[in-house]
Structures are given as C-alpha cells and as structure tokens.
Chains A and B, each alone.
Chain A
Amino acid sequence: MKLDARIPAGPLAEKWTRFKANVRLVSPANKRKYEVIVVGTGLAGASAAASLAELGYQVKSFCFQDSPRRAHSIAAQGGINAAKNYQNDGDSVRRLFQDTIKGGDFRSREANVHRLAEVSVNIIDQCVAQGVPFAREYGGMLANRSFGGAQVSRTFYARGATGQQLLLGAYQALSRQIGLGKVTMMPRHEMLDLVVEEGQAKGIVTRHLVTGELKTHAADAVLLCTGGYGNAYYLSTYARGSNVTATWRAHRRGALFSNPCFTQIHPTCIPVTGEYQSKLTLMSESLRNDGRCWVPKAKGEQRAAVQIPEGERDYFLERLYPSYGNLAPRDIASRAAKRVCDEGRGVGPTGLGVYLDFSEAIGRLGESTVRERYANLFAMYHEITGESAYESPMRIFPAVHYTMGGLWVDYHLMSNVPGLFVLGEANFSDHGANRLGASALMQGLADGYFVLPYTIGDYLSQQKPRGEKTDGPAFQEAMGATQARTKKLLGVNGRKPVSEFHRKLGKTLWDTCGMSRTKKGLEEGLAILGGLREEFWKDVKVPGSGADLNQSLEKAGRVADFLELGELMCRDALEREESCGCHFREEHQTSEGECARKDAEHSYVSAWEFKGEGKPEVRHTEPLSFEELALATRSYK
C-alpha cells in the first residue's frame, strides 16, 4: 500500500500558507447541508465541534462521559507551548519546530510539525479571548514557564490546571453552539463501530450507556478525537474511562494504526504503593523548573532524605545532562530514573522511586513563592501520600502518560479511509517517538481550532451531502456486528471480573513493552497476550444485561480491544530494530546507554493494516524525509 501524506509542495515555512490559499472550499450556503460526526469532547473534539458549527456545518458530538466537560484533557496540569517569544529569549516558530522534531527523535513529519508551531501562536490568542485565566505578570502581561526539551520559556499556564482551563474554554465554545442548536450533543454515548460505505466513512454505531440502546448515525465525515490508549497498561495517569475502542474499531474497518509502540512514560508520577492500585497520579513536569531529582550515592541507603548530606546525593539529571539538567525530555529523564533504581539506589519502600526536592527552591525563592506556583500539586501529593513536600522531597517514579502512536493520518488529518479524520492524541502525527511537555494541549487545540476546519472543506467540497438515512447495508452490517459482540460479551459467563484480565495485560505490557524492550521480552509478551486473549473470551464474567447502565459491560468491551492492541504494540516494538525516543531496545544502545537510532533502515512511520480476525496484521511504512533539519544524534548533555 502506498501511503500518500499529501504534503503540499514548496518550502517548509510556506506549505501551510500555500495550502490555505489553494484549498477547495464549501460555500457558506452549502455548509449547512453537510453533517459531521465528532467523537470525543476533549481539546481536539470540543474545539473542532465548536469551530465547525461556527462555520455552519451540522455537527453531532458524542462523548461517553456524562458531560463533555469531563474529557481527560481536563487533567493536564503544566501548560501549553506557543512560539510567542513574549520573553524575548530567542524563541520562534522555527525553534519550536526544531525542538519538537528533535524531541521526537526524528520520527515525525516535518511539514505537520512546522504547521503545529505556526498555529501555536493563534491558540493562545483564541484561548485568551475566550476568557482562559492564564497566569499573568504584575504588569498584566502573560507569564511563561519552562518545560523539558527546550531552552526557552514558551509555556503558558494556569496554575497547575492548564488543561482544565483550556478544556473549559473549548467546552464553553461548544456549549454556545449547542445552545444555538448548531451542535447536537450526545453525552453518555460510546462509539462501538465505524460505518464504511463504499469505501468512505459515513457513520458510526453507538451505545447509549444509560438505556443500552444501540443506534447508527450517518454523516458526511467522521472525526475521531478520542485520545490515547495508555490505559492498555492498566496503571497509568489516564482517566479510568480512557480507551482505544473508537480508534481500534476504525482500525478493524480499515484505518491504519501507526507507531503503536510509541508510548510516553512520564518521569514524575507518584510511585505505586499496592496491588489494589487503580491509577497513577502525575506530578506536573513544571515542577522540574524548581525541583531537583536525586538519589543517594550509596546503595541501600536507609536514612531519611533530609538526613542525607549534600555530598552523598547524586543529582543524576544534572550530572548526566548538564545543559538541560532537570529539564531533560521525558523519555531521557524516565530512563535515567529507571537506571539509578536498577542500580539499587532507588528510594521508598519498594526501591522504585527517586526524590524530587524543592528545598533549594524554597531557600532561594521562599516558601510562599513555591506555594503560589505549585500549591495544588503539593496538595495532591499530600492527599495521596500523607506527606508534605514542603518539608521533605517528593518521591516520584515514571508512569505511562501519553501515546504518540495512533491512527495514521495525512497532512489533512485524514486517515487512509476517506472521510475519516483523526485529531489530537488519537492520531500519530506530530510527536514522533517522544512528545515534549506542554505540547499535547497545543496539538489538540491546533488540530481542532485551526487545522481541521480548513482541511475538511477540501474533502466535503468533493462530496454530495448524503443525508441522514441509515438503512443501507453498511449500516445494517455494522449494527448487526455490534449487537453480536455485545451479546457475546454478556454470554461468556465465566468466573473472572474484567479487571483481572486488564491487570495482567497491563503488567505484561509494562514488563515487556515499557521503558526498556528486548526481542526476547517482546516475544514472551506476545505469547502471554495471545493466551490471555483466549482466556478472556472463555472466562470473563460480565454481570447484568445490555439494556441499562452496565459499567462491567463497558469495561469488558474496552479491555477486549486493549488485548488486541497490546499484541500489535509488541509486534511494532519487535519490528522496529532500533532505539529512538521512548522506544528503547536494549540491543540497540550506545556505550553510554543512550538510544542508537538506525536511520538508514528505520526512518519511517509504521502503519499496520488489519487483515481480518485471527490473521496477522501487515505492516506498511511511510518513509520520513528530512529536508530542513539534518538527521542528528539527539543530545541533551
């Protein structure tokens, strides 16, 4: 299969401008004749739904939560990047582009990333106009902080709840369109299948989570803005409801899945404390502006942190990466933390933890300034651990946080299935093998506010409005398949609750397809997962019926999809015989233990094709070419 990314011609910095100048348009009078389905109401989904309705399209918006305001973008803490250069510290669109390509270890598309950097400045303007209360300086101007992988301060923030404030901005824009009758909002609806009619995405099948009603919805285009799949690992910083079902069902209908093994492990999360644990909590990367990571120099240190003298501490990030220090990118910082723990120098009851210490910052700035910057994060830490980070250092450890992989899309954000667009974390496009901090919010809003509203017109202008009829064979087939699957899940009637399978899946992926991967480990992982999937369909217990609110049924469907995805993640990791960004294959490392990329063989985007039940997926590749930036070994030393 030939993958055409449809990147416009011309010099990199002019591609987006040229695209906009030449894109085909739908006239204002015709826009209302087109229906667009938007699945998901996070930053990408809410911003896209609102923007498309403002343009005049008929929009139907779906989310599985009880309200569009609860999508997991709400939990993003630290900030959003934009190349505003308000700090006069040398930032520019070019530099944000370079940092993002390098941060992603040269495994993303130059043209997409440059466009992202270009529109980043518009996002801040839009959000401020909506009333997002970003942090300000005393003179009334916007404040910035620094995030990993950058040597400028370009991160805009609203205390430790930037995602919440940005999402509420988009939610309010969406609410305005709902109030005006331009968006039909369907909360508590879960997408369970994609309808592909004559090769084009023309609708979805949903389940109403309260009544259990299965229903088909038709449209001229379908947008998936359904987030990432990190919950495959069971323990992660994702919301408990975050899942891969929408994108996985689309994948099974023909959409290619790219780079599934690229999962971000965030260095600063609260460590695991017990078997029953359901969730890992992130401590924002912004804390590394002032917090210093260290472990004792000696193995098996028993003293409390505050009793260990300065000379016996190893500030390992500052030692290993002096030019970026504690603001080394996430993949690098996580691996460094893992390494010192593997050496037996980890802290806390499990030995799987490192300190994040604020005593130097409190001494330099005073406690009140530290409180002003991070109070809600320190409070969260206190609630979970019962410890005060003002008095002794936080204990942190890496945890699954984000997925760079996702459905393959071209420059238009359209998948290989015409009419199916994929936005935000659900697509693969901008972050390569590692995402920089504060860039997820930027991408979600860029896609929804400023990219998709242009590119969708180019597609719709070539389509006749199909109307709302859902009686065609493609709709009936998708409906039948969904009914059968629901019945099957309820009918297994085994002995084990869904959570037991999910935990085992998560542990297998963490052990074999986590921070460090080997051929042997991945093969073992694949063998375990194959057996687990079989066992699931023989022994899962889903109580209740499909005709009302049944949270066990919801979870079972999601975990069944995660089980299939888990195998694909391992296969992708197995076939990428190199190390890059988050993907660290032990067989491919430098003498200093850093990633050894193999550009000649692996400078590509993998794109997996579903070939039918029980058949192995086939991998296609989109070669990456770097015209502006020379492929370089990434260094933060």
Chain B
Amino acid sequence: MKLHLRVWRQASRQSEGSFVTYEADGLTPNMSFLEMLDVVNDRLTKEGQEPIAFEHDCREGICGSCAMAINGEPHGPNAGATTCQVYLRSFQDGQTLTVEPWRAKAFPVIKDLVADRSAFDRIIQSGGFVSVGTGQATDANAIPIGKGIAEKAFDAAHCIGCGACVAACRNSSAMLFVAAKVSHLGLLPQGQTERKQRVQKMVAAMDAEGFGNCSNQYACEAVCPKQISVEMIARMNRDYASAVVDQI
C-alpha cells in the first residue's frame, strides 16, 4: 500500500510554514497512521533530514497528545477515535493525505504538527476542580449518587483535552472542552458548593485565552474522540446565566 502525504512543516513558532510532499510506500492496512509516520521519519533520518515533529504518547486514544488534522478533519476520518487510533485500512491505496496541526489562535504552532495547548491547563487552573484538600474527605458511600447522574458525569469527565473541538470550530471556540468540565463537576453533589463561581471563572479564563464563541454548528461534537455531546454546552450556558442572574 502507498500513500502520498502533504505534511505541514514549520521550523518554529516564529517561522513561516509550508506543505512538504512525501511518498510513503511499503505500507500495510493494519498499520496505524502514526506507525506510518514513524516509518517516514526513520527514512528521513537515514537520509539526513529532520523527521516530522508530532505529538503522541499512549497510542491508545486516552492521553490526548496526538493532535493533527487529516484531509481537514481533526483526528481523521473515524468517528469517536483519536489520530493514534486511525489505521491505514481507513484509506485507499494511492490516496493523497494532507496532514496539518490544529489551527487556532489560542493554540500556536511550535513546530511542524505540534501546537501549544497549554491554554487548556490554564482554564482548568482557574476553577476546574473541587476545592477539597487531601485528608478532608468523608466516607465515600456517605455521598450517594444516582447511577444515572454518575454515568452522565462520567460522559463529561471522559474528555481527553486533545483540542479537536477547537480545531473543528470555525470560531476556534473551546466551549465543548470547558462545558465538559463544568458539567462533570456541576452534575455531582461534590461540585455544588463552587458551581457558580466555577463556571464564571472558567468562562472568563476561556475568553482571556482568545478562544471564540459558540455559534451552534456542532462541529465540535462531530469530531470529539470521546463523542461528548453539545448538551454539555447548553448546561454550561444555563449555569452561567443563573450565576450571573444571582449577582444582580
């Protein structure tokens, strides 16, 4: 199997980037997309060229490191999967693939396919937690939580912080990411005390990082590897409105 690659190469944050074409040959359909990049990189190394920089770590769809768009689609063609979970059987022999980093003002490109997503960490630091110190907990079963609520909270908490939602959005909005954390903690009894401050702080931090607003296109939901629902955004908007009204 053979693929033609057009890969974004950019030396550093300051420099201009461009697409460079590579031929990938001798592939098999059971290879993962990232394994194909490994093969290309080993060849480039042997030829004395610098390999393509890309982020990856767990290679099983949970760490959220891998972050690239394949033919314009964040994480490639498979629904509910990260880039590392894309296998070459998803492509045709001889196909041309354009591979790019996330494109968003709040995610500046550092090198090649590597973007800086530290804005997400700063949003969590602004309030994406329950303020409980080590040793302050009561017995775990002292807080009964209905199975349905626990499942919904898990659906929200399953976000891997990859940033595909931002990359897919025409406004580079981080609403799905922020709403997932607001919903996870806001659904649970443990998160109630800080519920209103939390949503306000996190939305303020999101705005300060330069992410755009939501205009209800739902592209984020479509590309989310954990298939997090835009219902989370509705819940966040409700919490935010109620928090603001409380202050009047």
Contacts and interface: CB of A to CB of B under 8 A. Distances in A.
Interface in A128-165: 128-142, 158-159, 161, 164-165
Interface stretch (A65-73, A331-339, A617-625): A65-73
A241 B56 CA distance: 8
A470 interface: no
B158 A161 contact: yes
B35 A278 contact: yes
A502 B9 CA distance: 26
Chain A CB within 10 Å — which of B34, B126, B129 has the most?
Answer: B129
B103 to A, nearest CB: 17
Contacts of B31: 274, 276
A126 B134 contact: yes
Contacts of B111: 210, 548-549
B190 A379 contact: no
Interface in A403-429: none
A384 B78 CA distance: 12
Contacts of B60: 75, 279, 281-282, 380
B172 interface: no
Chain B CB within 10 Å — which of A173, A497, A551 has the most?
Answer: A551
Contact of B64 (A50, A70, A86, A279): A70
A176 B89 contact: no
A390 interface: no
B147 A140 contact: yes
A134 B157 contact: no
Contact of A69 (B121, B131, B157): B121
Contact of B57 (A239, A383, A548): A239
Nearest to A495: B46
B140 interface: yes
B64 A210 contact: no
B32 interface: yes
A436 interface: no
Given A278-B38, A379-B80, A172 B124 contact: yes
A131 B46 contact: no
Interface string A424-466: 0000000000000000000000000110010000000000000
A386 interface: yes
B49 A380 contact: no
Contact of B140 (A124, A137, A282): A124
A67 B190 contact: no
A585 B26 CA distance: 40
B248 interface: no
A348 interface: no
Contact of A131 (B35, B121, B147, B188): B188
Interface string A69-88: 11010110000000010100
B214 interface: no
Chain B CB within 10 Å — which of A65, A66, A125, A241 has the most?
Answer: A66
B189 to A, nearest CB: 9
B185 interface: yes
Interface in B37-52: 38-39, 41-42, 44-46, 48-51
A548 B12 contact: yes
Interface stretch (B93-101, B112-120, B216-224, B235-243): B112-120
Contacts of A172: 124, 128-130
Nearest to A543: B50
A247 interface: no
Given A65-B57, A168-B157, A548-B12, A135 B150 contact: yes
Contacts of B136: 129
Interface in A162-179: 164-165, 168, 171-173, 175-176, 178-179
Chain B CB within 10 Å — which of A172, A241, A277 has the most?
Answer: A172
Interface string B129-159: 1111111111111011111001101100110
Contacts of A278: 32, 34-35, 38, 59
A412 B6 CA distance: 54
Contact of B56 (A69, A72, A134, A240): A240
Contacts of A140: 144-147
B60 to A, nearest CB: 5
A173 B51 CA distance: 37
A300 to B, nearest CB: 24
B30 interface: yes
A70 B64 CA distance: 7
B147 A541 contact: no
Contact of B185 (A47, A131, A386): A131
A45 to B, nearest CB: 14
B51 A543 contact: yes
A241 B125 CA distance: 25
A110 to B, nearest CB: 25
Given A66-B65, A68-B121, A133-B188, A453 B55 contact: no
Nearest to B111: A549
B61 interface: yes
Contacts of A379: 80
Contacts of B64: 67, 69-70
A506 to B, nearest CB: 14
Given A133-B157, A210-B110, A54 B63 contact: no
A22 B120 CA distance: 43
B78 A383 contact: yes
A70 B42 contact: no
A128 B157 contact: no
Given A128-B143, A158-B154, A175 B121 contact: yes
A496 B45 CA distance: 8
Contact of B153 (A125, A133, A139): A133
Chain A CB within 10 Å — which of B12, B30, B49, B127 has the most?
Answer: B30
Nearest to B67: A66
A234 B208 CA distance: 42
A304 B185 CA distance: 47
B190 to A, nearest CB: 5
B28 to A, nearest CB: 6
B171 interface: no
Contacts of A135: 150
B85 A50 contact: no
A142 B140 contact: yes
A289 interface: no
A179 B35 CA distance: 38
B87 interface: yes
Chain A CB within 10 Å — which of B89, B145, B185 has the most?
Answer: B145
A182 to B, nearest CB: 11
Contacts of A178: 121, 125
Given A129-B130, A130-B132, A178-B125, A165 B157 contact: yes
18 contacts: A51-B133, A65-B63, A65-B65, A70-B63, A72-B63, A74-B62, A124-B140, A126-B137, A131-B185, A240-B56, A240-B58, A278-B34, A281-B59, A282-B60, A386-B87, A450-B134, A495-B46, A552-B45
Interface of A: 47, 50-51, 54, 65-70, 72, 74-75, 84, 86, 122, 124-142, 158-159, 161, 164-165, 168, 171-173, 175-176, 178-179, 185, 187, 210, 239-241, 273-274, 276-279, 281-282, 379-380, 383-384, 386, 449-450, 453, 495-497, 499-500, 541, 543-544, 548-549, 551-552
Interface of B: 11-12, 28, 30-32, 34-35, 38-39, 41-42, 44-46, 48-51, 53, 55-65, 78, 80-81, 85, 87, 89, 110-111, 114, 116-118, 120-121, 124-141, 143-147, 150-151, 153-154, 157-158, 160-161, 184-185, 188, 190-191
